[in-house]
Chain A
Amino acid sequence: MADETSAETSAETSEQALPAPIIHITRDPLDGEAIRALEQAVTTAGAGGIVTFAGVVRDNARGKRVRALEYDAYPEMAESEMARIAAEVAQRWPESALAMVHRIGPLAIGECSVVVVAACPHRAEAFEACRYAIDALKASVPIWKKEIYEDGQEWVEG
């Protein structure tokens, strides 16, 4: 996470154009290298605050020991819903750049399932935009999660 530090200048906005939102459903690992690449892709010279949310597979849920997760998605609609959310973010925070990537398929404990990166001129809007995007993703993007336990498995909400 970087904080805003601006070079001394009289310009009020950056000269560099904002990148288009990055939206993907992927089966590839969202490892440190992939996350860094997303951060770099949305970071422009005018970005002073970059907030990254990474959702990671936990080993327990509702008092149960979780062995692994499996995610499924309706990929075409998931990406169009994510694009709709990105458009809302762009409207609310016009100087923001956003990446939202969700992994599907089998995931092990500790692996990253979702990454949202918001890059903005200042930290406050970067936190807000990132929070808004991940909350909206959870509320409307057609992605599903199956928890795999020692003694069974179940598609779960939330």
Chain B
Amino acid sequence: MQVRIRYFAALREAVGEAEEALDLPDGATVAQARGLLAERRPALAKLLPACAAAVNRGYAQAETPLSDGAELVFIPPLGGG
């Protein structure tokens, strides 16, 4: 299956792209996607541990399973206000 990853703020600057597709084994979780991404994108390895995650525009847990076509966003520490 494939998920769509979108990058914002520090992650977008580190990657140099706003989004990409990530192939994952069926039933992969947020934690697995995070691990794969850290391997594939060394620039993110330092940033990802501090990030929360959102799946389909809602906060998700490490064990949240992903489905094909899901939108996955890693959310660095917030700075709104």
Contacts and interface: CB of A to CB of B under 8 A. Distances in A.
A157 B6 CA distance: 20
A142 B81 CA distance: 11
B58 A72 contact: no
B45 interface: no
Nearest to B75: A142
A155 B58 CA distance: 22
Interface of A: 55, 71-74, 76-78, 80, 102, 113-114, 134, 137-146, 155-158
Nearest to A25: B80
Contact of A114 (B10, B57, B75, B81): B81
Contacts of A156: 79
Contacts of B31: none
B58 A80 contact: yes
A-B CB proximity, top 4 nearest: A143-B80, A145-B79, A144-B9, A157-B77
Q: Which of B10, B73, B77, B81 neighbours the largest number of chain A CB atoms within 10 Å of its CB?
A: B81
B57 A113 contact: no
Contact of A74 (B54, B77, B79): B54
28 contacts: A55-B81, A73-B80, A74-B8, A74-B73, A80-B57, A102-B80, A134-B81, A137-B81, A138-B81, A141-B78, A142-B73, A142-B78, A142-B80, A143-B78, A143-B80, A144-B9, A144-B76, A144-B80, A145-B79, A146-B9, A155-B13, A155-B76, A155-B79, A157-B77, A157-B78, A157-B79, A158-B78, A158-B79
Contacts of B73: 74, 77, 142
A77 B54 contact: yes
Contacts of B12: 72
A157 B8 CA distance: 14
Contacts of B77: 157-158
A73 B76 CA distance: 11
Contacts of A143: 78-81
A145 B75 contact: no
